[in-house]
Structures are given as C-alpha cells and as structure tokens.
Amino acid sequence: MKVILRWLSTLWAACPYTMLGKKALQSVRGDTKPVKPVSERVRHLEGQVRIGWAIVLVGFFCPFFWIALFSGAKGQTLYFNVIHSGLVILFGLGYLARSRIALARERRKRKD
C-alpha cells in the first residue's frame, strides 16, 4: 500500500498544474526553502525526470483520445488515438527511465 501511495504522490508532484500551484503559493506567501548544496548536473537530471513524468501525463490525458472516446468514435479513429497516446506514454517512460538511471549514477558518483 505504501508503494502505491508513494507512486501516486510522485505522479501528483510531477503534474505541471501541481508544480504551478506550488510556485504560485510560494510566491504569494513569500516562502523560501532552505537549499541543499546540489550540483547543477543533479538539478538538471531531476528536472529531466519531471519532464519524463509530464510527458507520461500528457500521453495519458491526451485530449484527442478522450474526445474520440467520449464522442463515440469507433474503429480506426479510436485505434489511431489509442496508439498515439500509447506511443507518447512509452516515449515518456523511456525518457523517464533514462533520466532516472543517469540521476542514480550521478548520485552514486557524488557519494564516492
């Protein structure tokens, strides 16, 4: 259960609207987080991981697919949208995996 909740939390944090809302609240409140010393490479790779999650979310919430599904499209039109959304999701997962592996290697290298 904890794994599912952690995964959902990660997915929620990767949502572009959640990021925008957090930044807006921080600027309104005037909050500043204490910043840990992190290399630029690690920061860049963390950003790449978030981009990967955002691509996955765009593929999942693709408006073309959902419009086709709810408008009653059948046959090739619906299959095309399913395949298109699936390819975007797969691309996002590949991008995410590549970025996570590079981030893990960079963090391991920093510890040594």
Kindly indicate the confidence band of residue 3, based on its pLDDT and cuts at 50, 70 and 90.
Answer: confident
Both tokens assigned to 52: 């990967």
| pLDDT at res. 41 | 87
Nearest to 53 by CA among 16, 80, 102, 106: 16
Which pLDDT tens digit goes with each residue over 12-30?
A: 777 767 777 777 887 788 7
Q: Which DSSP helix (H) or strand (E) runs through 36? A: none
Which pLDDT tens digit goes with each residue over 44-100?
A: 999 999 999 999 988 998 888 899 999 998 899 999 999 999 999 999 999 999 999
DSSP, collapsed to helix, strand or coil, labels residue 58 as: helix
Residues with Cβ < 8 Å from 86, sequence gap 6 or more?
Answer: 59
pTM of the model: 0.66
